[in-house]
Every structure is written in C-alpha cells, then in structure tokens.
Structure 1
C-alpha cells in the first residue's frame, strides 16, 4: 500500500504508511509545507527498510540513510550493548518530516506528532501549549514551550505504551532538544523505573511476544501487580537518578515519571506549577 494523506479538522494533515501514522500542523504557507511533508513521507518506509537489519542491532556501525543517521546520533549516548537505533525511530521520523516542511517554506510554528513523539518548530516568539495527561487519562494541564526555549522534542514512553518495555513506569514524558533525543531518553527512563526480581512483576523474553523485536531475548514487562507505596517510591527513585544523569549530560531538559499514582519530576518545577494552575487544558498546536 502506498502512503496515504488526508486533511483533518483544524487544517491538520494526516499521513500514514504501514506502521507510521503522523498528525501534522503548521502556521504559514500550509499547502507548500504539506506537499513537502507528503513528498518526503513517501520515501520514509522504503529508506528505513533498506537498513532495518543494521538498525535492529546494538548501536555500533553508523548507518547511511538520513533518518537512520538521526536515530544513530540520538541512540549513541545510550549505547550499552543492548540499545539499538530503533529506540528513537518514531522521533527521528517526526524530525525528518518537520525538516522537509521547514526547508520548503517559512513557517512560524509547526509540529509533527508520530504517535506521541513530537517534533516542534517555533520562531518569532511563537508558543506551543501541550496538554499533559496522567496515565489514567486525567488531564493535568498544559506546558507552554516558547521559541526561546531549547526544547524542540517531546516524547512519552512506558510499560502501558505501544512498545515493549524493560521497566514498569506507567508513563515517562521527556522534553529534549530534538524529538529523536526525547524519544530515546523516554524509552531509557521508562526502563529505569523498575524493581528487578519483584514478585508482582511478570516478564517474558521480548522475542516470545514479537518475532521482529530488536530486543532479542531481553526480559520485557507484561504485567505489574499492585505495589506498595514504598516499592513505587523506590522504582521512581531509580528513574529519577537516571534522569539526573541525563540532565547533567545535557540529553534532556525535563521529565515527568509516573507509576501507580505517584510521580517524580526533574527540570519541570516551574512548568508543573503552570500545569496545576490550568484546570481545563486542551491540546493546542
């Protein structure tokens, strides 16, 4: 099947091809930007498939394709003998499509949302307000990101998400310099929120669930039972420590970690105050 495109309410563009599903919006020469987005999107899946065996191996050899190189650069700081460039494929695709739009025309604001991994473009004092929700779907408020901020990527990962996870976080949201960096960090932080060998946590080899996984036989979480408040706090502390190391290494600009009704934040204190003051947020772009 070829790449599909449709205009959604609010003049947003929906692009889909195989497992890739994007929602796109922009302020500026929208028609020019959307044509550029679609033209680039048509080649994405073929480009990734050409190097898929390499991208599913632990980070080592630098790939050739443009998107694959974005993945490699974002995954490299997390290389540990298990992490592969696939850790940030969604963020890298979002970045690449956004870059095609920005190269094609002048845009004040633009975003590409790839299943919750979001690449942002902001200029001339423009602002994005991003709705934040707890894992149970309760709206917590909004975070404002301005053109003066270094943040151009947002990603969310966790055990309840669409990807396999080595950790038990209900959700981890990360703000970073790029979408691919946010995607990689969110996955790693979701893995870091964990309680190894806890009897309430069930794990199975990743390849017993998905034949095409890049995680091989690594044990992924399939079930998390009810944990004590002390256990939840300990798991979140593990994630918080990992987030602190990433922040020191300038890999992230902020994160929020969630597990069974508790949360930890790093680098978001002022933004989270803003969230709490907005009782009826809505996703704006």
Structure 2
C-alpha cells in the first residue's frame, strides 16, 4: 500500500488526499491566510487516519449495540457513535466509516480557523462547515427524477453531513435501492442511516433479485455470510412501490427519533422523500424556514 498522498487538483482550489481506500476532495472558502493554515492542518492530520482505523479494525467489524464501546481513535469513536443509536438492527461501525473519516478531516481542517465554508468529500459522503450567514450548494443523487440536481443548505439548517448508499454503490447493500441520499447533523450519522435505509428498500425472496454472500465477494467483509445484492431485474410498479415504502418506513422512524433530517429514496425511476415536502427538493431549497 502506498503512503498518504496530497496534491492539488488542476483547478488549484481543491486538495486531493489519498491513502489506500481513502480518497478525499477537500475545499475551503475564506481569507487566504486562513485557508493556507486550514489546508496545512488537513495535510498534517491525514496520514494517521488509516493506520488508526487498521489498528482497531477487528472490533470495528463487529456488530454494534445500543451501548457504545470505547475506541482509541477519534475516527473510530465517531463511527461507533453514529451506529449505536441505530443498533436495534444489524449494523457495524463500518457502515459509517466514510462519513466518519470526512467528519474527522473536516474537524482537523477547521480547528482554530475562521472559514466561511468548507467541505470534505469522501467518495460522495460529505462533511460540511457552514459559518453563520453562509450557505452551500451540494449535488444530490436522483437527477432525472424530477428533483433538483443541487440543494442549497443554509447555515441555520441542522445539516452538516450528506451520504448516499445503495446496491449500485461502492459498498455492499442488503437491499435493492438504486440510491438513498440522507442529510443529517454529521456525515457519519448520514452514512450509517443511509446504509440501513438502503438495506430496507427490499423485496425479500424476489426471483428477479440476485444475491451472494458478502464473504464470497470480500472474505473480510463485516457482513459475513449475509446475502448482498448483485443484480436487480425487472420489477412491476406495485413491487417498486412496496420496496420504496418499506425503506420510507425506516427513514421516517429515524427522522422521528432525530437521527436524520431528510432522506430521498430512489428505485427504478421512482422516489420517496422523508422529512420535507417533495417540492422543496424540486426547487433545490433545503431550509425548513
């Protein structure tokens, strides 16, 4: 495995950080001296993230419970904190790893700095910093479904993390959602919730859905022998509705308990929205005000 790498993208504004499976795009907005210091802090923190996670990987792959365990690294603690409130269903801290890395790197970047805005994008799981009076636009999944392709998140909105999960993504899914995008108070919380909501969008036993044990695809998967989705065939409109409604039930429950702010679920050209009227997504405005 190569060591941690840091370089500027061709636009000269965005920092690319890579170390093994971790691949981040980092960008900040503010005074030039504050930005220099912030990027320097991010570069300094980054090389330790992966070794810290590897040191505790065995326990991070074990199922969580509603009583959080102690972990040594800050990133691992973020992972555990994100999944513990959701642990009445099977979940391991690995469900929140991408979002937690984004949160940890953003925290390192903005510590002691005065930035207007900043984000850390870890393969689509995004941690946000929005100073009072500022706002940020973010791309969302689902363009082409009649929804806006970007959302404006204002500083007063209780959202600082965005994550997307689904069977077509880079991680395994137990469900059949094409994508589930979640907005929450942190990227870690959004990541964990998106995983479980995407798992719940499902039609158990349906013959058009191909599944294989996770261990067959990745011997060290935290999902073990649980069957993960590898293909989804043709579904009827009532079946699509039933699968989406199953996921929406889980999303609504999470929203009522305060784990998430909003979720948008996509399957076979249809979608469901939990947390706000769908027309707000059509206009691309998140604010609840």
Whether TM-score is above 0.5 comes out as yes
Matches within 5 A, 1:7-46: 7-8=8-9, 9=11, 11-28=13-30, 29-46=34-51
Q: Within 2, Cα distance between the matches of 1:133 and 1:153?
A: 14
- 1:232 is matched with which residue? 240
- 1:280 is matched with which residue? none
| RMSD across aligned positions (CA) | 1.7
| Aligned counterpart in structure 2 of residue 259 of structure 1, from 267, 278, 282 | 267
Q: Give the C-alpha shift of residue 135 in structure 1.
A: 7.2
Q: Give the C-alpha shift of residue 82 in structure 1.
A: 3.2
Aligned residue pair count: 276
After superposing the two structures, state which structure 1 stretch, 175-184 or 24-33, moved more.
24-33
Partners of 1:132 and 1:139 within 8 A in 2 = no
Per-residue CA deviation, residues 159-199 of structure 1 (Å, 9 max, x unaligned), is: 10000000000000000000000000001000010011111
Unaligned runs of 5+ in 2: none
- 2:192 is matched with which residue? 184
- 1:282 is matched with which residue? none
- 2:119 is matched with which residue? 111
Does 1:57 pair with 2:62?
Answer: yes
Secondary structure of 1:196 counterpart: coil
Question: 4+ runs of 1 displaced by more than 3 Å?
Answer: 135-140
Q: Give the C-alpha shift of residue 211 in structure 1.
A: 1.1
After superposing the two structures, state which structure 1 stretch, 27-36 or 175-184, moved more.
27-36
Partners of 1:142 and 1:274 within 8 A in 2 = no
| Aligned counterpart in structure 1 of residue 281 of structure 2, from 269, 272, 276 | 272
- 1:172 is matched with which residue? 180
Q: Give the C-alpha shift of residue 255 in structure 1.
A: 0.8
Q: Give the C-alpha shift of residue 111 in structure 1.
A: 0.3
Partners of 1:59 and 1:81 within 8 A in 2 = no
Secondary structure of 1:106 counterpart: coil
TM-score (norm 1): 0.93
TM-score (norm 2): 0.92
- 2:52 is matched with which residue? 47
Query: Cα 1:17–1:136, aligned 2, differ >3 Å: closer, same or farther?
Result: farther
- 2:102 is matched with which residue? 94
